[in-house]
Amino acid sequence: MPVSISQFQDLIRRTFGAKDSRRGIDGTFLWFVEEVGELAAALRGGSKAEQSEEFADVLAWLATLANSAGVDLEAAIERKYAEGCPTCHETPCRCDPTVKP
C-alpha cells in the first residue's frame, strides 16, 4: 500500500520519536550523514537490494531530522516544488545544467 510522505514522517515519529528527541538534532544529523555515506558506498558497488535499503534508511533519517527540526516534509516539498523547478518554474527544468537550481 502506498504511503504518503506525511504518513511516513508520522510513522517515523511514532516509532522513534522518543529516542530521537533524547538524541537531539545534532546527534540525529550525524546519523543522517552516516547513512548518506552508506548510500554512496552502495551506489558505487552494492546490489540493487542494498541500494534500496540504503535509500530507505536515508529517507527515514531525513524524516527523523525533519521531525526534530519541526518541519513538515510534505508541506516543504509542496511549497518549493509545486511549480516544477524552483528557479525557472518549468517542468522539465530548462535551467543551465551546469548550475544547481
pLDDT of res. 100: 76
Residue-wise pLDDT for 29-88, tens only, equals: 999 999 999 999 999 999 999 999 999 999 999 999 999 999 999 999 999 999 999 999
Q: Domain residues for 35?
A: 5-70
**Residue 82 domain-assigned (yes or no):** no
- Tell me, yes or no, whether 98 lies in a domain: no
**In total, how many domains does the chain have?**
1
- Confirm whether 59 is domain-assigned: yes
Query: Model confidence at 98, in pLDDT bands (50, 70, 90)?
Result: confident
88 domain-assigned: no
DSSP for 63-99, please give it.
HHHHHHHT--HHHHHHHHHTTSSTTT--SS--S-TTS
Regarding pTM above 0.75, the answer is yes
Asked if pLDDT for residue 101 goes beyond 70, the answer is no
Residue 67: its pLDDT value, please?
97
Domain assignment of residue 53, yes or no:
yes
Q: Is the residue at 42 inside a domain? A: yes
% helix, strand, coil for the chain, step of 5: 70, 0, 30
